[in-house]
Chains A and B, each alone.
Chain A
Amino acid sequence: MAIQTKPIPALYTVYILRSTVRHASLYIGSTPNPPRRLSQHNGTARGGAAKTSRNSLRPWQMVGLISGFPSMVAALKFEWALTNPHLSVHIPSDSRLSRSTQVKANGQPRRPSKSMVSILSNVHLLLRVPSFARWPLKLHFFVPEVYAAWQKWCATAAVPLRPSLKVVTDFGGAQTSEGELDDYSPAKESESSDGSEQTKPWGIHALPLDYEPIKDYVAKAQGIFEFEREGDCVVCHRAIESGEGLHAVCTNGGCDGVGHLSCWSRHFMPSQGLDNILPIQGWCPKCHGEIQWSDMMKELTLRLRGKKEVDKLLKTKKRRAPNKVKAKV
């Protein structure tokens, strides 16, 4: 079996690109590095997309993106579904919004043309379909009118998004972000009211491309596991054997609650096994702080599979680490 060898990426997004020249030209893509990708689209860097290579449509701008995908595969799935809403099987037929009416020469259904409204509506839809519903995603908007369109659509949508799915905006100006910010992503949106758009990076440029936001968390966890301070599982209260299994650490600042992974999931979702597998958020039994499952998993996978990233993040060399830590990490 293929073993996942990479940790949860620090950032993987699916973005909506719009031509500044012609607002009707839209493009959907995915990237772990939005600024770089944008420069590629605009021709500044090599490797842009063919559809965005037309000079008459450049420069492009990212008007919105969905972040928080736990893997590249997940992002690609979502991107495809968003690009092909008329085909995606993730969308139930009855709730399908985009339907193809024509057929191409090769027999395939023709894709209905994109519009901002259609994209937004499909985003709204995809965020609700069972296939993606429980993903730790977050929606960002960088252009006011797009955000307005989104809100307009949401108002008309029959089913709202789940509350835990955050929608944040960053218009670069003095804007307030809606929704709550995670504790560990303070820099995601610049809520700065100074209005200095030029000097301070905003929008996609303000997105953290690495694990910096969770650095403290990671460091904390490193400390715990390096010294084997796990203690007992905060859920089942049984001893945690170091290096024997997957143990997650509470995300909250001062709490060092460690628990078995399955215990955590059971704790977050008591009815697990019948309803859902994936938790979304829960409360730490130790510090009673709110924990986002994705954050905890991010750290866990980092510790488990991203040793290099951890080292780079913490800028520590683990050569001195005892063998046991290495086995664990």
Chain B
Amino acid sequence: MRVAPQWLTRLNVPETCSPPTTKLLPTTILRPGVRWFCGLRRSPPTRSKMASGGLLFSSPARVRTARDESIVIISSSPEFPSIHDLLAKPAKKIALRSGSNAAPIPVHAIRTFTTAADLFRFSRVEGESLPDVHNTAIRRSPSPVRPTAKVVIELSPTVATATTLSGANPKRRQEVTTRRKKKDESSLETKRPAPVLGSAPTNAPVVPGEPPGKKSRPSKTIAGGQTVLLKGKVTKPAAREKAPRKRSEIVSKHFNPQPPPTKSTPKSGIEDEPLALEPAMRRRTDWTPPPSATPTCIPSSPTNQLYSPAAPGLQADKASQSGGFKNLHDTYGRKEERQLGETAGAPVTNDVLGKRKLVEMVSFTTDKSMTMQPSPTKPKAPKKKPRTITDLATAAYRVVEESDRPPSAEKSKQSSLLGYIGAGSAKTAVANRQPGKNTKLSKKPAKPRVSKKKAGPVTQVLLSPTSALSQVAKQDFVFGTASQLATEEDPELLRALHEAMKASNQPDGDPFARSPSPVRSDVAARKKAANKLWAAGARGENGSLVDIEFVDLTDSPALPRRRTFEAKSPKSPRKSPSSRAGKTQKAQKTQKKQSPKPHTRRPSSGSAAVDLSVSPPPMSHFFYTQDSSGDLWNIASEPLPEKPFGGIEPISIVDLDFDPPPSNQEHNQLLEHSQPKSTSKDQPDGPTRPKFELFTDAKLAKEVASYGFKAIKKRAAMIELLDRCWSSKNKTSLASELAEPGLSPTRPRGRPRKGSSAAAVPATGLPVAEAKRRGRPRKDVTVSSVKASKSKATAAAELIPTAPPSAAPVVSAPKRHKVVGPPLGLEIADSESEKEEDDDPFASSPMSLPDEQRMFSSPPDVDISIDEEADMSLLADTPTGQQKLLFRYISKAVTTAPRATDPENPSWHEKMLMYDPVILEDLTTWLNLGQLDRVGFDGEVAPGDVKRWCESKSICCLWRVNLHGQERKRF
């Protein structure tokens, strides 16, 4: 909405002429309170679009050029960029007021800067000049300005001043708002001709006398004393009469010492006269809160200050009151803030502020009392629980963590790693001691630590890079698996653990690896530690094994370490034959019935010796069959106490798969190792092995579980298992001596031990374990599964080597056979070698280098090898001789198995007959559990062999675990 002041219309100013600033669109809404003044311009302003009528609007802040002397727009929004500037240029083109269209400059317009003298002069000639000015102005304007109409008057400083001096005028504010403009003009005042001045006053009064149609800004107050320049308002003819008076009033204001009733000029007038200025306009509410009640001196803008020196007279009023420049700040400062601040609660203020918060109103300058008010902030909130991700993440590392330690340290011993190991009571006692010790210790330091931490936050010191690095390096790192670390392990224990593991992994560090004994085998083998494997299987001229140590697992408690073996053979039958016999019987029971007496060969095998030295407990993890040969015991180096085997069933298959995963195996060993061993504990172990037979089922189950085995249902099986565990704990292990201890625990040993006593070992554990390795690997370990025996058993039969080492001599044998294995690993070679085992002293299948390959071979039937030659149809290939032999054994084992009595659990044979798909893992397990022994086959079969057998028999077979490791559930 465009408000066209009446004076505008009267002047026939084209409608398009925009009010105050020339850029204002016709449709622009004039801001309320903004009082626009028009004035004629001698030359078009830079920014204005002039109506042809000569209205000139410009923002007061614009620097006045010499040409802008005529009329200055007085705007009440001084520092604001003209709204017209902000807006887009209006569509309609207002006639340019340039060039020929330029607003006429009154002839008598002052073209120079106003000087004080001019002001003074003009003030004298107020009356006279006015009409002249007016007339001249009107005359000048070429525009169709009616002579009567007060067109925009060329603003001249004098005029402006005159207007401002019009004295107390109700419309004073209007004038004041244009003070800035007038100030601008004031500089030009000196140049203005007097008549202009006169004209101005003539106009000026008109301005205030405008009808209320004109917008006024009552709230706007300008710091008093400002020159109200050039109300370039078009005055109405009606108001004209007042003009002179007004002007005179205005003029008088400048030069009269009348103080303005309400306003005060911040300027110090040249003449220190009290200026009768109207009260300054109130500050606009929307950007500055006006004073609550006082209408006085609200500094309008810096421009006011600009004007002040130029038109001192205008501000003489205020200046006179406040002493000129000294009070500039006071006058132009943000007094109203202070006032407002003081009256913060005043409703007016609130209204004025509107949406603004009260806080912003606080004055920064003066009233300290205000600022010092205590902000109504909440008391420091108690530290909340961390909610941010960072907090959560760092919560663990915060200082207060210390306080968390004691509770953790007090955890039960199960929480400690030691709790895992403590199988026996002694161990648990040890474990109890340590965690208890730990808790005690940790408690105490925790407390002071906690208190210290809570005393104050740790001050972070910024270290230099080098020092930071050194500090980092100084940290005591403790490594371990997640589970180890999580159980609040004693760092020393962990370290000891790792040390021990490292030591065990070193070839030199293995206590068993060193074989100082004289070896009859090649010197070369002896020399090279790496050839221990080969050396282990070395055979003497008899064909019997050399350089092997035997371990009596059944007895030989805490025997002194004795690595040497056959050299000690002279200590032969020390034990009472009876005791030996007892053992021999049992041992022989383990043999297959057809097995020849191994011990007949024993004496010949001078090399074969049983070293009953007790290894350090860590190595006692491995179990060995009680070999059939009674010679084992005969060669015992020390008197072995009677081992009450009691009602334990003979162990047919030696290997027992103690299923703690390799890491735990080592771990357990080492932990046992690192723990203070009570020899007293060891000593009675052998001789005083707890009578498992006397244990209750529950206790047996507990013991079994403590070794990490799954629950076994049969009592006998449990007892047997525990026997083995016990024995292994306290006996030397041959394999450990021969094999790389690092390797042996895990790989060769691995899972594959089949066979415990009948059905003792939970089938599920083993099949799963085996399933993971469809390759050969199982065969290697079978050494121990010395189904010692029998047909093949040669001297080596009594050996209980485990794993790879024993494979050494055997390796050579199978090598004779065609090894058809492609890298993808169809276990042909192994199977072949296995057939050979008939002739081998070692019942074990050779597991040498190719084994590693085979270990990772995929099951043959799912092979998708591109290479067709080396292909997957090896399965279907006619089995070689060895394979055939094996197959025969398998068939025999299957068919001769007793038929099942329970229809729900048919025997394997019956299952096959019923076309049930055979799960290879299960069948392999079953075969290795003793069936093959029954039919006279030494060694174990691998699932791959079983698969080939099945396929040769047209039996539908499948793996339980597919290639992706998932188990089949649906058959």
A246 to B916, CA, bound (A): 14
Q: Which residues of B contact A100 (CB under 8 A)?
A: 866, 868
A109→B899 contact, CB < 8 A: no
A1 to B767, CA, bound (A): 9
- Give A261's nearest chain B residue, CB to CB: B910
Q: Which residues of A contact B966 (CB under 8 A)?
A: none
- Of the candidates B861, B915, B969, the one whose C-beta lies within 8 Å of that of A294 is B915
Q: Which of B294-302, B458-466, B515-523, B953-961 contacts A (4 or more CB under 8 A)?
A: B953-961
- Of the candidates B767, B873, B896, the one whose C-beta lies within 8 Å of that of A90 is B873
A305 CB, min distance to chain B CBs, angstroms: 9
A107 to B912, CA, bound (A): 37
B321 CB, min distance to chain A CBs, angstroms: 96
- Give A293's nearest chain B residue, CB to CB: B913
The size bracket of the interface on B is 35 or more
- Give A87's nearest chain B residue, CB to CB: B864
A273 part of interface (Cβ distance < 8 Å): yes
A109 to B867, CA, bound (A): 9
Q: Which of A176-219 contact B (CB under 8 A)?
A: none
B541 part of interface (Cβ distance < 8 Å): no
A134 to B950, CA, bound (A): 12
Q: Which of B97-105, B208-216, B384-392, B900-908 contacts A (4 or more CB under 8 A)?
A: B900-908
Question: Interface centre among B869, B896, B914, by most A CB within 10 Å?
Answer: B914
A66 CB, min distance to chain B CBs, angstroms: 14
Question: Interface centre among A8, A96, A245, A246, by most B CB within 10 Å?
Answer: A246
Q: Which of A45-92 contact B (CB under 8 A)?
A: 70-74, 77, 87-92
B823 part of interface (Cβ distance < 8 Å): no
B956→A91 contact, CB < 8 A: no
- Of the candidates A74, A103, A136, A261, the one whose C-beta lies within 8 Å of that of B899 is A261
B917→A89 contact, CB < 8 A: no
B775 CB, min distance to chain A CBs, angstroms: 15
Given the interface contacts A99-B868, A103-B866, does A276 sit within 8 Å of B953 by beta carbon?
yes
A130 part of interface (Cβ distance < 8 Å): yes
A276→B954 contact, CB < 8 A: yes
Q: Which residues of A contact B860 (CB under 8 A)?
A: 89
Q: Which of A287-329 contact B (CB under 8 A)?
A: 293-294, 297, 300-301, 304, 328
A232 CB, min distance to chain B CBs, angstroms: 16
A89→B952 contact, CB < 8 A: no
A89→B909 contact, CB < 8 A: no
Q: Which residues of A contact B922 (CB under 8 A)?
A: 1-2
B352 part of interface (Cβ distance < 8 Å): no
B954→A246 contact, CB < 8 A: no
B954→A262 contact, CB < 8 A: no
B971 part of interface (Cβ distance < 8 Å): yes
A92 to B922, CA, bound (A): 26
A279 to B864, CA, bound (A): 32
A246 CB, min distance to chain B CBs, angstroms: 5
Given the interface contacts A130-B952, A132-B954, does A304 sit within 8 Å of B903 by beta carbon?
yes
The size bracket of the interface on A is 35 or more
Q: Which of B852-891 contact A (CB under 8 A)?
A: 860-864, 866, 868-869, 871-878, 888, 891
- Of the candidates B904, B954, B971, the one whose C-beta lies within 8 Å of that of A73 is B971
A265→B909 contact, CB < 8 A: yes
A272 part of interface (Cβ distance < 8 Å): yes
B919 part of interface (Cβ distance < 8 Å): yes
A246→B876 contact, CB < 8 A: no
Q: Which of B930-971 contact A (CB under 8 A)?
A: 951-956, 958, 960, 968-969, 971
A277→B877 contact, CB < 8 A: no
A2 to B895, CA, bound (A): 20
B2 part of interface (Cβ distance < 8 Å): no
A300 to B862, CA, bound (A): 32
B899→A297 contact, CB < 8 A: no
Given the interface contacts A70-B915, A103-B866, A278-B953, does A273 sit within 8 Å of B958 by beta carbon?
no
A297→B956 contact, CB < 8 A: no
Given the interface contacts A3-B904, A71-B917, does A277 sit within 8 Å of B953 by beta carbon?
yes
A264 to B66, CA, bound (A): 131
A311 to B754, CA, bound (A): 43
Given the interface contacts A274-B891, A301-B914, does A244 sit within 8 Å of B951 by beta carbon?
no
Q: Which residues of B contact A277 (CB under 8 A)?
A: 891, 894-895, 909, 912-913, 953-955
A108 part of interface (Cβ distance < 8 Å): yes
Given the interface contacts A77-B956, A277-B894, does A265 sit within 8 Å of B913 by beta carbon?
yes
Given the interface contacts A71-B971, A92-B877, A262-B910, does A272 sit within 8 Å of B899 by beta carbon?
no
- Of the candidates A91, A93, A244, A272, the one whose C-beta lies within 8 Å of that of B901 is A244
Residues of A within 8 A of B (CB): 1-6, 8, 70-74, 77, 87-93, 96, 99-100, 103, 107-109, 129-136, 243-246, 260-262, 264-265, 272-274, 276-279, 293-294, 297, 300-301, 304, 328
> Can you sample 8 A-B contacts with CB below 8 Å?
A5-B971, A91-B876, A93-B876, A130-B876, A134-B954, A135-B956, A300-B914, A301-B915
In the complex, besides A262-B913, A274-B891, A294-B915, 5 extra interface pairs with C-beta distance below 8 angstroms are: A2-B968, A90-B951, A109-B866, A131-B951, A265-B909
